[in-house]
Amino acid sequence: MPVQQADVDDLVERALQADRGAIARLISLVETGGPDATRAVAALYGRTGNAYTVGITGAPGSGKSTLTDRLIGRLRRDGASVGVLAIDPSSPFTGGAILGDRVRMQDHATDDGVFIRSMATRGHLGGLALATPQAVRILDAVGKEWVLIETVGVGQVEVEVAGAADTTVVVVNPGWGDGVQANKAGLLEIADVFVVNKADRPGVDETVRDLRQMLELSPERDWTPPIVQTIATEGTGIDDLHDAIAAHRAHLEADGRLAQRRGARLREELRAIVLARLAERAGAVSDDDAFEALARRVDARELDPYAAADELLASAG
Ligand SMILES: Nc1nc2c(ncn2[C@@H]2O[C@H](COP(=O)(O)OP(=O)(O)OP(=O)(O)O)[C@@H](O)[C@H]2O)c(=O)[nH]1
Ligand SMILES: [Mg+2]
């Protein structure tokens, strides 16, 4: 249901005063999309650009939520405020992730410095790819210093969303071929830090070796992703993960790379919004009477489809 302008303003106002309910409502708005979402983002955009974002991705069940939970704990030790978006996979093999995420991050549920939210795809135009950056903005605007984004590393959009963070952490597990699977899913290209989680299981050295080999074969980059070993369930290696993220951040912040990366991302987002808006307009154009009239002329071979499309677009302005 659309919210009144005054209500959106009121939500924004309350969210800025750290009202958790209001923050949650705003995230629901951007999840749904539409004019209310646009209004909320417009009201908050000027306050954004301060949060550091970390994408955490990997195969279903690799331990992303458990790691995220530990990372929240580590960041809180420094007194930093943390926002978390757990993107619920549309993928059928990970049903029940919402409950899992809630259970695994429960320790922080009563901590005012932490805000955790699951987000679903909903399948609207631009879906997750457009909604996630808006949700990140809300957390950024209300003062979260870190925003962690958990996505399952299957599916192009989920991988894209994780890859759009300032630092992207790719989680794999020990065992034959896990690194190779990550490579196939396109995760190797987006990784700034690798985590071999479940390092209490056999095959850690082989997996590390596989990753190293694949990195050597991939195109030269100005940053070589470190490989960190963790046992998330026991909290082992979390300091190493934190340090690896901090090192990548320092690398980006030197020489203006972070600003450059964010600038490129904003341009990509702008392009995606323009495309989504054009697609919306095209949708409107293609189900009115003028469309049908032109389509009949195409049926009758009086017009070719290209000429008909141009005519439609010209009349739509
Ligand atoms: N042995 C072992 N188990 C782990 C470790 N880390 C996580 N697990 C277990 O692995 C299972 C999946 O962990 P999650 O943190 O939910 O994994 P996830 O990647 O968030 O899962 P989805 O969001 O469903 O894709 C749980 O049963 C965890 O307790 C680890 O280091 N060692
Ligand atoms: Mg999870």
* Ligand 1 atom, smallest distance to 60 CA: 25
- Closest protein CA for atom 3 of ligand 1: 198
pLDDT recorded at residue 98:
46
Going from the Cα of 189 to the center of ligand 1, the distance in angstroms, rounded, reads 23
Distance (angstroms) between ligand 1 centre and the Cα of 71 equals 14
Pair 35, 131: CB distance under 8 Å: no
For residue 316, report the phi and psi dihedrals to the nearest 5 degrees.
-80, -15
Let me know the angle formed at the C-alpha of 50 by 49 and 54, rounded to the nearest 5 degrees: 95
Q: Is the pTM of this model over 0.75?
A: yes
Q: How far is CA 36 from CA 5, 16, 51, 123, in A?
A: 8, 17, 23, 18
pLDDT, position 122: 56
pLDDT tens, 15-26? Answer: 999 999 999 999
Q: What are the pLDDT digits (tens) for 232-269?
A: 999 999 999 999 999 999 999 998 999 999 999 999 98
Q: Encode 117-156: b = buried (16+ Cβ within 10 Å), e = exposed.
A: bbbebeeeebbbbbbbbbbbbbbbbbebbbbbbbbbbbbe
Supply the residue whose CA is at minimum distance from atom 17 of ligand 1: 63
| Lowest-pLDDT range of 174-188, 199-213, 299-313 | 174-188
Any idea which residue has 């049926």 for tokens? Answer: 299
pLDDT, average across residues 67-93: 85
Q: How confident is the model at residue 104 (pLDDT cuts 50, 70, 90)?
A: low
- Measured from CB, residues less than 6 Å from any atom of ligand 1 are 60-66, 94, 97, 100, 104, 152, 197-198, 200, 231-233
